[in-house]
Amino acid sequence: MTKKLNQILDDQNIQYVNRTKNSYRKHNLATKVMPGGNTRTTQWMEPYPFFAENAEGMYINDIDGNHYLDFMLNATTLILGHAHPDIVKTLTQQIQDGTVYSVPTDGQSKLADILVERVPSFEKVRFTNSGTEATMMAIMAARSFTKKTKIAKFEGGYHGTHDHVSVSVYPKKEDLNTETHPGVPEYSYQPKSILEDVIVLPYNDIEKSKELIHKFKDDLSCIIMEPIISNFGYLPLDLEFIKFIREITEELGIVLIFDEIQSFRVSSGGAQESFGVTPDMTTLGKIIGGGLPVGAFGGKDEIMELFDPTSSNYDIAHAGTFNGNPLTMEAGVTVMENLTSNNFEKMNHLGDSLRSKLSSVFNEINLDVQVTGYGSLFGINFNKNKIKDYRSFLNNNSDMTKILFSYLRNKGILLQLKNAGALNILMTEKEIDYLVDSTREISSEMKDTLDE
Ligand SMILES: Cc1ncc(COP(=O)(O)O)c(C=O)c1O
């Protein structure tokens, strides 16, 4: 980092520390009982995270009395905003009726009905408590269905925290080989067998992907991918590439799994509806639980039959003490009922407007920044090269990324650490303009120091 950029970041951190003294105290106490002071790596931010007191609508309030316009939305989850009155009402009623039973409720069927109706690839669906469990179960299903064991995923693709998707998720530049496969382990002593069973492909590279898929075709049960890549500032994949993957998987009898845990928010049927490409299976999470823990996986009848204890094809036990619990299911139904086509249109239109205003700002100040995103998702990338895959995304300037995040946090705006974010149904041009104007202020300052 240049001296001047370092100075800007230091100033921002000092301001933050001065504004968050109670959080600092709480954080220090928390570090005595939890590694890093919390229980989720993604809650970490430098120099320490602020602690939430409560949240309402578009804002989170911290325990020092600061307010943050929330574009993080718990990793895109809170599409209706915080504490939406309909969700509060639904949950209050359900809590009085009991929080969880060991038998099904109508809420499960109601949410399943809505999702099967909306998601093109869903003929049947099952619920889990997290997206991690959803991708894990979908992969098990693909293995059992195809009678093959290897899986393919993409470099830089995140699909939760279980072992078989934890390969080449965040590999460091210095650990990358010329080829994407074999992949890079995500932690020391990750079993070699996992690295052998997980084929790592490059996003948006038809030739290389084709070569690897053909090489392993006899053992490949599935390919898991995101149509809009969360880890690269919500970059939508090239449509040509998505279509190529659909065709080759169909041709070779490989199950195609779309991980739409984040991208489901771009239309009522998710990115698969927007792009017109239907996978064999889909995993969902985040928005479909109305702010409560959730995941779902589903797809073709003939695959989902593997979970049906009455079927002669039954093969996979899928337990889970809190699967489809009534609180999550009722909140999920409420959020879906609020997500009308008007609301999708409004959020996506606002997303277009945000991306276009941000791009104009960077053109105006002549700074190399790529604004990525799709629908209500966006990312701000300090990067001269066109982002198309993990390796090009890695070229994002990490110092400028940190400065923008820290500056916006002091202005009462919360983004994801890599300056990506999402909109909710409450936001208007006013909130967008505040984000754009604040981004212009700090970006001009950074540009001035670079020009000096
Ligand atoms: C694309 C994607 N897949 C899977 C997951 C895992 O979901 P969860 O955190 O609910 O386990 C996430 C979570 O951020 C995600 O973004």
380-422 per-position pLDDT tens digit: 999 999 999 999 999 999 999 999 999 999 999 999 999 999 9
Protein residue with its CA nearest to atom 2 in ligand 1:
159
Specify the 3-state DSSP secondary structure of 100: coil
Quote the pLDDT of residue 1.
Answer: 72
Protein residue with its CA nearest to atom 13 in ligand 1:
160
What average pLDDT score do residues 266-273 get?
98
Which pair of tokens denotes residue 389? 């895959």
Quote the pLDDT of residue 265.
Answer: 98
Q: How confident is the model at residue 261 (pLDDT cuts 50, 70, 90)?
A: very high
- The answer to whether 270 and 279 have CB atoms below 8 angstroms apart is no
Q: How many residues does the chain have?
A: 452
Which pair of tokens denotes residue 76? 């895109």
- CB of residue 158 inside a 6 A radius of ligand 1: yes
Distance CA 315, CA 171 (A): 35
Q: Look up residue 34 and give its amino acid.
A: M
Distance CA 180, CA 160 (A): 20
Q: What count of Cα atoms within 13 Å lies in the side-chain half-sphere of residue 411?
A: 19
Quote the pLDDT of residue 451.
Answer: 82
Q: Among 70, 197, 205, 259, which one carries the catalytic annotation?
A: 259
Give the model confidence (pLDDT) of 41-98 as tens digits.
Answer: 988 999 999 999 999 999 999 999 999 999 999 999 999 999 999 999 999 999 999 9
User: Maximum CA pair distance of the chain?
Assistant: 73
* Rounded to 5°, angle at Cα 321 from 123 and 78: 65
Quote the pLDDT of residue 285.
Answer: 98
Quote the pLDDT of residue 71.
Answer: 98
Closest ligand 1 atom to the C-alpha of 293? 10
Which pair of tokens denotes residue 47? 């120099």
Protein residue with its CA nearest to atom 4 in ligand 1:
159
Active-site residue 217, yes or no? no
Distance CA 351, CA 377 (A): 7
Domains of the chain are 3-79+340-451 (3.90.1150.10), 85-338 (3.40.640.10)
Distance CA 56, CA 290 (A): 14
Above 90 in pLDDT, residue 284? yes
Give the model confidence (pLDDT) of 208-245 as tens digits.
Answer: 999 999 999 999 999 999 999 999 999 999 999 999 99
Distance CA 79, CA 73 (A): 7
Quote the pLDDT of residue 152.
Answer: 98
Quote the pLDDT of residue 338.
Answer: 98
- The answer to whether 351 and 423 have CB atoms below 8 angstroms apart is yes
Distance CA 36, CA 47 (A): 11
Distance 294 CA to ligand 1 centre (A): 10
- CB of residue 154 inside a 6 A radius of ligand 1: no
What average pLDDT score do residues 332-344 get?
98
Distance CA 128, CA 112 (A): 12
- CB of residue 128 inside a 6 A radius of ligand 1: no
Above 90 in pLDDT, residue 452? no
Where residue 147 falls (left for φ over 0; alpha for ψ -120 to 50; beta otherwise) is: left
What average pLDDT score do residues 282-305 get?
98
Residue with tokens 């079927």: 311
Active-site residue 286, yes or no? yes
Determine how β-strand 295-299 pairs with β-strand 413-414. Answer: unpaired
Sheet holding 67-70, edge to edge: 52-56, 59-62, 67-70, 413-414
Q: Where are the beta strands (DSSP E) in 96-202?
A: 124-128, 150-154, 198-201
What average pLDDT score do residues 246-264 get?
98
Specify the 3-state DSSP secondary structure of 71: coil
Q: Among 16, 24, 48, 158, which one carries the catalytic annotation?
A: 158
Closest ligand 1 atom to the C-alpha of 129? 10
Q: Where are the beta strands (DSSP E) in 11-73?
A: 52-56, 59-62, 67-70
Q: Where are the beta strands (DSSP E) in 278-342?
A: 281-285, 295-299
Quote the pLDDT of residue 2.
Answer: 83
Mean pLDDT of the chain: 97
* pTM higher than the cut 0.75: yes
Q: How confident is the model at residue 450 (pLDDT cuts 50, 70, 90)?
A: confident
- CB of residue 62 inside a 6 A radius of ligand 1: no
Q: Which helix (H) or strand (E) holds 448?
A: helix 429-451
Distance 261 CA to ligand 1 centre (A): 6
* Rounded to 5°, angle at Cα 49 from 407 and 448: 15
Q: What count of Cα atoms within 13 Å lies in the side-chain half-sphere of residue 247?
A: 9
Closest CA to 169 of 393, 417, 387, 400: 393
Mutation to probe ligand 1, out of 166, 257, 261, 288 (largest number of atoms < 8 A from CB) = 261
Quote the pLDDT of residue 251.
Answer: 98
Protein residue with its CA nearest to atom 9 in ligand 1:
131
Active-site residue 158, yes or no? yes
Give the model confidence (pLDDT) of 15-51 as tens digits.
Answer: 999 999 999 999 999 999 999 999 999 889 999 999 9
Burial class (CB in 10 A: 0-12, 13-18, 19+), 50: buried
Helix axes 3-19, 398-410, angle to 10 degrees: 30
Helix axes 429-451, 398-410, angle to 10 degrees: 130
Q: Look up residue 49 and give its amino acid.
A: P
